[in-house]
Amino acid sequence: MGLLVFSLPSSRKRIAQKNIEVCFPNLSSDEQYALLRKNFISMGIAIMEVGMAWWWSKRRLKKLITYDGLEHLTSVPSGQGTMLLGIHFTTLEIGGAAVAMATQMDGMYRAHGNPVYDYVQACGRISKGSGDTMVFERRDVRGSMRALKNGRTLWYGPDQDYGLVQGLFAPFFGVQAATVYATARFAEKTGAAVVPFTHIRLPGSRGYKVTIHPQLKSFPVGDDLIDATRINQLIEKFILLQPDQYLWAHRRFKNRPEGEADIYDSDGVQDD
């Protein structure tokens, strides 16, 4: 399925290609093309993984999951909230379901324009939880902060361009990118621990590795640019674990500093 989409001209393909060119300028054109092709294969696989994450039984899905570092979640003191810091790998749905099966986790998402699909999506994302799992639309700041203050674990992905209303420009793979500072603000105002995690599709149909990384120390420092830059550096590190499995089709450099040209030229995509 991924190769079929890859064979067709599309704005998403051009966006992914441009992102790879910008973030990996040291790769040759052939290497960039190979990475782009593998990325579309990964996105094709991800379509199947949505169904697995939402509708497979917990018992069946757990057989494919290898966990590492769960102690970094259980070591957070009872009553203290946890921001589970993730990025938009194509294995996003699998990763979220895997953590929800192992511990309490709420989620944040962007509401879909189709209300039927939005309902199905919300139901799918709470299906692997313990029964009290909640999902918050990303603009529901109050609900998200309330959950953290109540000691809950909340998935949060700060790796996309959400504009500059609650963000600023910070370096990302050496290029200025609009970066939300909510990670630091949420942690500061709620006292939540910030615990990063990754979810990688293993080769040879061997399933998935979900890794909970150590809690960020000395974060936030109170400087939005320093804090946002640190988060971007962490995101870069995680992407480099498996760059073909990252969601490059998002317009990560949609907003540009004043005077800079549109990186994506006339791709014709109004919003993502």
Q: What is the DSSP letter of 243?
A: G
Sorted by sequence, the CB contacts under 8 Å of residue 134 that are 6+ apart come out as 106, 107, 126, 143, 147
Handedness of CA 237, 47, 96, 160 (dihedral sign): positive
- Whether residue 236 is contained in a domain is answered as yes
Checking if the pLDDT of 2 tops 90, the result is: yes
The tally of domains found in the chain comes to 1
Cβ 157 vs Cβ 88: under 8 Å: yes
Give pTM, 2 decimals. Answer: 0.92
Rounded CA gap, 231 and 179, in Å? 9
- Whether residue 34 is contained in a domain is answered as no
Mean pLDDT of 152-167: 93
Tokens, residue 120: 């199905």
- Whether residue 138 is contained in a domain is answered as yes
- Whether residue 41 is contained in a domain is answered as no
The predicted pLDDT at position 258 comes to 94
Checking if the pLDDT of 151 tops 70, the result is: yes
Of the given ranges (14-18, 51-55, 115-119), which has the lowest mean pLDDT?
115-119
- Whether residue 132 is contained in a domain is answered as yes
Rounded CA gap, 211 and 221, in Å? 25
The predicted pLDDT at position 108 comes to 82
Checking if the pLDDT of 32 tops 70, the result is: yes
Domain range for 180: 60-242
Beta bridge partners of 189: none
Rounded CA gap, 231 and 250, in Å? 18
- Whether residue 7 is contained in a domain is answered as no
Which CATH number is 144's domain given?
3.40.1130.10
Helix, strand, coil proportions of the chain in percent (round to 5)? 40, 15, 40
Q: What is the residue-averaged pLDDT of the chain?
A: 93
- Whether residue 25 is contained in a domain is answered as no
The predicted pLDDT at position 268 comes to 46
Give the dihedral of Cα atoms 61, 63, 66, 72; nearest 10 deg: 60
What strand order describes the sheet that includes 208-212? 65-68, 208-212, 193-201, 82-85, 153-156
- Whether residue 52 is contained in a domain is answered as no
